Amino acid sequence: MPILSKHLIRDENLIRNENLVIEGVDVSGDWSTFIKTRVVQDYNDSLQEDIAALPGGENIHRCWQCGSCTNTCTINALNPDFNPRYWIYLIRIGMEEELIRDKEIIWQCVSCNKCTSVCPRDVMPEGVMRATAHWLELKGYTPESPATIFDKVFSSQVFAKGKIEEGRLMMRFFKKTGQKLTQDWLVGLIRGLVLRLPIGLLTRMGLSALIHPRTRDWSNHRMAIAEYITEQKALHRKALGLPTTEESR
């Protein structure tokens, strides 16, 4: 019998004997394909609570597995392995090992909020994706993803200055992720733009590279935010049972 839904079975769990004769019947090759029994015993009972303790994951326990999020998901349409419904299931039931197999793609959520708009239980799957990516990093399963690095570079600029300046942001990001500062496709675009711009504007743009935008009297805000972030970080690490002082990355 052909195995239906063979895509659900990982290659390493499929067994196939090239030469096998059972009770006189030759069942070599495809005839002897069978699936290794896999019994999961080490459920992580606190996985759901871990995710719920991180920002965005608060409503995970509401999910009833209807599949709306996955079938509307922008990234699922590009990559069927990106499946918020399935991950929520794994988390709720505590199948940590299974979840970690997809650690390389969970962070790819583009925050389009399609899932959150359709979810009938208001699970906020977009938030759960964020919390899960965060959890993977806190637990050390994944290094910081490019997205996290971008968020951090961006946020730290906002927290420090109150405003964002795109040029600098891009440079910092490319530097932090070890990418070339002069991405070919960007250079072409910017060259075209520069040729079109009048001299006056160019000088202004040149100047703005020196005079960085910032919000005035921001220092109180900067301190308030820094204090809050330290508190929250400690809370999150505590909820996950990690030492509360994070070694600086």
Partner 1 sequence: MSNKYRKVAYYPGCALEGGASSYNRSTKEVGKKLGLELVELENWNCCGAMEVKNADPKLQTFLSARNLKIAEDMGFDTVMSPCNGCYHNLKKAEYDLAHDEASRETVKKLAHRAKTEPYQAGKVETIHALDWIRDAIGTDELRKQVRNSLKGLKVANYYGCMYTRPRHIFPEKDQGGANSDSTYRPHFMDDLLAAAGAENVEYPLKTACCGGAHTLSDSDTSTRLVLNLLTTAEACGAEVIATECPTCHQGLEMHQARAEKVFGKKTKVKMLYFTQLLGMALGLSARQVGVHENLSDSRSLLKEKGLG
Partner 2 sequence: MNTPVLVVGGGPAGLSAAHSLASTGQKVLLVDKADRLGGAPILSGYAKLVPSGEWAKDAIGGMVQRIESNPLVEIQTRTTITEFSGAPGAFKYMLAGEEQTREAGATILCTGFSHFDPVNKPELGFGIFPDVVTTTQVEQMLSSGKGVKCLSDGRVPERVAILLCVGSRDRQIGREWCSKICCTVSANLAMEIREALPQCSVYIYYMDIRTFGLYEDAYYWESQEKYRVKYIKSRIAEVTSDGKRLIVKGEDTLVKRPITIPFDLVVQAIGMDPNVDNARIASIFGVELERHGFLQRGATYRAMGSTTRPGLLVAGAASGPETIDDSIAQGQAAAMAALTSLKAPATEAA
Distance between CA atoms of residues 58 and 186, nearest Å: 39
Least CB distance to partner 2 at residue 93 (A): 14
Residue partners of 29: CB distance under 8 A and separation at least 6: 16, 17, 18
Nearer Cβ to partner 2 (117/156)? 117
Per-residue string for binding with partner 1, 126-155, x by CB under 8 A?
Answer: -x--x---x----------xxxxxxxx-xx
If one asks whether residue 66 binds ligand SF4 (CB under 6 A), the answer comes out as: yes
| Footprint on this chain of partner 2 (rule: CB under 8 A) | 5, 7-8, 64-72, 76, 80, 83, 85-86, 114, 117-122
Termini Cα distance of the chain:
53
* Among the listed residues 6, 101, 163, 238, the single contact to partner 1 using CB under 8 A: 163
Whether 55 and 240 have beta carbons less than 8 Å apart is answered as no
If one asks whether residue 126 binds ligand SF4 (CB under 6 A), the answer comes out as: yes
Least CB distance to ligand SF4 at residue 40 (A): 21
If one asks whether residue 90 binds ligand SF4 (CB under 6 A), the answer comes out as: no
Partner that binds at residue 125, options ligand SF4, partner 2, partner 1, none, CB closer than 5 to 8 Å by kind: ligand SF4
If one asks whether residue 113 binds ligand SF4 (CB under 6 A), the answer comes out as: yes
Q: Which region holds residue 143: left if phi is over 0, alpha if psi is between -120 and 50, else beta?
A: beta
If one asks whether residue 108 binds partner 1 (CB under 8 A), the answer comes out as: yes
Distance between CA atoms of residues 170 and 183, nearest Å: 11
Per-residue string for binding with partner 1, 52-71, x by CB under 8 A?
Answer: ---xx---------------
Q: Catalog residues that contact partner 1 under the rule CB under 8 A.
A: 55-56, 74-75, 78, 108-114, 116-117, 124, 127, 130, 134, 145-152, 154-155, 158-159, 162-167, 170, 173-174, 177, 184-186, 188-190, 192-193, 196-198, 201, 213, 215-218, 220-221, 223-225, 227-229, 232
Q: Catalog residues that contact ligand SF4 under the rule CB under 6 A.
A: 63-69, 73-75, 84-85, 88, 109-115, 119-121, 123, 125-126, 129
